[in-house]
Structure 1
């Protein structure tokens, strides 16, 4: 049996719900949490599944706008807090998989180092 480097659908669903993946998939976890599109995936994984339960507010008798307003009163703060806690969530998921939580901001550190090197080259210090 070959080593699996990306999760099958059942493993992926368990991972999305907060489960751990085998250590052989550590690179996939790092790419998922820190690679291109990580922020988009994180936001969608939290904001899309909550929509069907929120639609239950539309069953409340009364004008449609009341149900929509109640949905918005819950959904808008959820968007805000989901975005605000993204960094914390990524660090926690990395730690849960036995990885270095500092990987969560590796791209930002690399970008800052490149900007600093470019600045020093441009101003004769490099």
Structure 2
């Protein structure tokens, strides 16, 4: 019996935590990493699980503003570094699953190509 093309719940959890999925799921992995909404999925996977952990600061005695400030002191840098390392994360996952790491730039190249064509049309070079 062939393996399914999409991962099970446990396989998805493992994938999010850094495990490699079996080769029959490589199309799903490629679409997950470079398909539409890939950046949004990455950000949600990294940022949402931290919210319940940070809510533990609400149990610390003291004024609410102090507890919220402690949460913000951890969450804001997490957001910054998560966004900053999106490209690095995507390239690493592509390499781990046997893909060319240059695939991480396909959306950027397509966007730049469209911008270039629009520029050339606007300025009479196209």
TM-score (norm 1): 0.89
Which stretches in structure 2 are left out of the alignment for 5+ residues? Answer: none
Return the offset for 1:119. Answer: 5.0
3-state DSSP class of the match of 1:36?
A: coil
CA distance in 1, matches of 2:48, 2:40: 12
3-state DSSP class of the match of 2:65?
A: helix
Aligned to 1:101: 101
Aligned to 1:86: 86
Matched, 1:25 2:36: no
Q: How many residues align?
A: 125
CA distance in 2, matches of 1:69, 1:120: 49
Return the offset for 1:53. Answer: 1.3
Task: Go from structure 1 to structure 2 and tell me whether the alpha carbon gap of 1:100 and 1:62 turns closer, same or farther (over 3 Å shift).
Answer: same
Which whole-Å deviations, capped at 9, do the CAs of 1:52-71 have from their partners, x for residues lacking one?
11111111111111111100
Which whole-Å deviations, capped at 9, do the CAs of 1:67-89 have from their partners, x for residues lacking one?
11100000011101100110010
Aligned to 2:44: 44
